[in-house]
Structure 1
Amino acid sequence: MKVRLYVVYVIFLCVVTTIYAQDEQVIKTLVPDSTKVDNKYKEDQVYLGVTYNILLNRPADVKQNNLSRGVQLGVIKDMPLNKRRNIALGVGLGYAYNAYFNNLQFLERDGGTWYRVVPDSVNYSRNRIDAHLLEMPIELRWRSSTASSYRFWRIYAGLKLGYLLAGNYKFVGDKREKFTASDMSRFQAGLHLSVGYNTWNFYAYYGLRRLFDSNAVMETGESIDMHALKVGIIFYAL
């Protein structure tokens, strides 16, 4: 009985050793040698970010409520500018969605839009501005990366251009109202900055252009000259 068990044990070891050797050979064939250095490497060509959105220069008595948020994703062409490849120019294309919760009510009247602060007598649960944008980030990039290091510091800063694909207002109270935001600025532009190490990166955006056309004014006659400030985090991948 012991001899039989010994024989079975030897056969088992031989089979496992053979399978391991074959698997190791397959792995070596499929997985590139990690010791090889790619001297033509590029960094951070896909991005995904989430932000908290703040409305600056709000008209009197206009306040934000709930959680105004945004999400952005896209691809960037990384173009190194020096031999070390730690300085680069990035040009990309992406999509962004931004929601702004506030008490600035937008009403349709006489073929146009009428703006007012929601009266205290009106009960509502949600009043929101939605914006869907096609964006093009243009940025100068510095990083401490090397051809063999995937953990590094980065500072990316530049200009982000945006084109409004769709915008709408949504009011939820005693009744639901939703209509197209035809008076939102079609073209957007702002300065943006990403700073961080490895996975976690701080992100900030300041809108240079106003969110609404120049003819957008409150019922009091005050101009709606609001700009966007966004702060959050952004993730990068190859």
Structure 2
Amino acid sequence: MANPDGQQAIVQEIEKQIAELERASDSEAAREEIERLRHQVTALRRQMSGGGGVDGRLAANDPWARVLVARHPRRPHTLDYIQSLFTDFTELHGDRRFADDPALVGGFARFDGRAAMVIGHQKGRERNFGMTNPEGYRKALRLMQLAAKFRLPIITLVDTPGAYPGTGAEERGQAEAIAYNLREIPKLAVPIIVAIHGEGGSGGALAVAVGDRVLMLEN
């Protein structure tokens, strides 16, 4: 059974995030994230009043409950996994064409003592909530091609609600950047392992989720 006190604590945490976002920014991305969080609060309150709860609905294989778990604000993010699983991480920046995109991080690291390239979406208010711009996808491809040059395996960590849908992103070639990655990544002659550890929204996830092995958490 779900813990009502635990669910109430989650609601309070989400409402705190909403208040912080409302004070901090009036950007389009912030408004979209606020709307998404409000939907989560509504769904959680509905579950609490109905007596089911996320745990009970998961037991009943409820698809929406699984979505809520994937979007849970307390889930670990990519940098948390990198800190826990990798050593000697050196982050690389920029697409060499326009800018750096903090919504997608990547760099050299060691996994179980072996050198590799690790790339992943990073959620957070200062990182566009994990919604990548075209420069992020171009950065990802640049790092993957760099890994292929040095014959290093690539590990990608996917957790995004989708590619950023803003006007600027579209003007800078969002669709082209995603499509180009889908064409070029399969050409790389190094092993690519993809781990989907949270959300995997649409082309925003696919643009870095082409791999030889694709792993996904159940919830």
For this structure pair, what is the TM-score category when the shorter chain's length is used for normalisation?
Answer: under 0.3
User: If each structure's strand is expressed as a fraction of its own residues, which one has the higher value?
Assistant: 1
Name which structure has the greater RCO, CA cutoff 8 Å, separation 6+. 1
User: If each structure's helix is expressed as a fraction of its own residues, which one has the higher value?
Assistant: 2
Query: What's the TM-score, normalizing by structure 1?
Result: 0.22
